[in-house]
Amino acid sequence: MTETIQQTGPAGAPSAKSSETAEKPRAVLYRMATPDHLCPYGLKSRAFLERAGYQVEDHLLTTRAETDAFMAREQVDTTPQTYVAGERIGGYDAVRAWLGHPLRAKGETTYQPVIALFGMALLMTVALAAGSMMPLLSGRAVEVLIAFAMCLLALQKLRDIESFSTMFLNYDLLARRWVWYGYIYPVAEGLAGLFMLAALPWLAAPLAIFIGGIGAVSVIKAVYVDRRELRCACMGGSSEVPLGVVSLSENVMMLAAGIWMLI
């Protein structure tokens, strides 16, 4: 008789090396699914549990009264709720943490938005080069990459220009002297990017040098001279990106692009 040894991953989830004949561990999920509301966190909880190798016993709470009765019985304030081996794991956030994939804590800094934005700008540049006569390894391709990034960064700021301008006042030297610069900056950044894409260096270069130069000096003073710990407004007013290398790189990138276009 052959003994089957089941290896487990994070939080007891079966690993890919488990025997195919081994029975999947079972999770019990209660989630709200009424005619006018399908709980998205319930769907996410089920998806993460199934991905971790659990067989999900899915209980739908189809009315408000049924949901309220469940919460009263289990003495919980929210749904969905997940149980494994009779133990209550909790809601979606708790399931993610229990499976070893915790969500980022509120207020915790992250570079993920910046990585996503510059990654998209790079892919856009590659796609443009593939569908046009522009060589990918060329000075023009670098200009296009920077221009795409500037336009995308400007869009992030323009989504909520009020919150951006408020956060911008925390460190930008010109905006502190003239508040309206906080409203002008994202427009100027977007225009500089568009002028670069249109191959109009005499319009793009002055804008890029001006906003990039002031921005670089402002970041250096705030972070490296005054040693202040701030959030960067580069991704908009609600950003959790720390002010520092990324924001300095953004401004140096614009400054360098402007000088490059004038040479």
**pTM listed for this prediction:** 0.76
Q: What is the pLDDT of residue 109?
A: 79
Distances (CA, A) of 140 to 129, 135, 148, 203: 10, 8, 12, 16
Query: CA separation (Å) from 192 to 32, 173, 182, 222, 251?
Result: 49, 20, 16, 25, 13
Is the pLDDT at 18 greater than 80? The verdict is: no
CATH class of the domain defined by 10-98 = alpha beta
58, containing H or E segment? strand 55-61
Q: Is residue 177 within 8 Å of residue 137, measured between CB atoms?
A: no
Q: What is the CB neighbour count within 10 angstroms for residue 61?
A: 22
The answer for 90, left when phi > 0, alpha when psi is -120 to 50, beta otherwise, is left
Q: At residue 19, what is the residue type?
A: S
As a whole number of angstroms, the distance between CA 222 and CA 243 comes to 9
pLDDT tens by residue, 211-229? 999 999 999 999 999 988 8
**pLDDT reading at 193 higher than 90:** yes
Tell me what the pLDDT averaged over the chain comes to. Answer: 88
Q: Give the C-alpha separation, 193 to 197, whole Å.
A: 6
C-alpha 157/C-alpha 187 separation (Å) is: 9
CA–CA dist 107, 161 (Å, integer): 20
For 16-31, what is the mean pLDDT?
72
Which run of H or E residues covers position 84? Answer: strand 81-84
Average pLDDT over residues 134-159: 93
In this prediction, residue 67 carries a pLDDT of 96
* DSSP secondary structure code for residue 235 in this structure: G
pLDDT top residue among 42 and 104: 42
